[in-house]
Amino acid sequence: DGGITQSPKYLFRKEGQNVTLSCEQNLNHDAMYWYRQDPGQGLRLIYYSQIVNDFQKGDIAEGYSVSREKKESFPLTVTSAQKNPTAFYLCASSIIAGGSTDTQYFGPGTRLTVL
């Protein structure tokens, strides 16, 4: 069963704690992305990576960190510096970043709730 997976599906965190969301893909895609989705809003880009060991900040990177040590994996850490972390987090991948007909494939998402 190929594709892009995220874990866990639901995550609860106490204020002040860091938490890491997992994203794995076996599509052999070079590019990976993290988005945040809030009710009634479009997806907002947190970070993206075009290649292993390289990543770029998106529109709302403050309070988040990522790593890209392997092509298949792009974990997202939500730090205690993120002021309003409760949201639905989506990971995506694409063959390359910015190809004219390149499609992003999304994982099932992780719903993070800060208690």
Partner 1 sequence: KNQVEQSPQSLIILEGKNCTLQCNYTVSPFSNLRWYKQDTGRGPVSLTIMTFSENTKSNGRYTATLDADTKQSSLHITASQLSDSASYICVVSRSGGSYIPTFGRGTSLIVHP
The residues near 101 (Cβ < 8 Å, ≥ 6 apart) are: none
Instruction: Print the binding letters for residues 48-87 with partner 1: x by CB under 8 A, - otherwise.
Output: x-x-------x-----------------------------
Examine residue 26 and tell whether it contacts partner 1 (CB under 8 A): no
Query: HSE on the CB side for 23, CA within 13 Å?
Result: 31
Which amino acid makes up residue 25? Answer: Q
Binds partner 1 (CB under 8 A): choice among 31, 32, 112, 114: 31
How far is it, in rounded angstroms, from Cα 71 to Cα 50? 10
> What residues have CB less than 8 Å from 62, skipping those under 6 apart?
81, 82
Q: Does 97 bind partner 1 (CB under 8 A)?
A: yes
**Closest to partner 1 by CB, 13 or 111:** 111
**Interface contacts to partner 1, rule CB under 8 A:** 4, 31, 33, 40-45, 48, 50, 58, 88, 90, 92, 97-98, 100-101, 103-109, 111
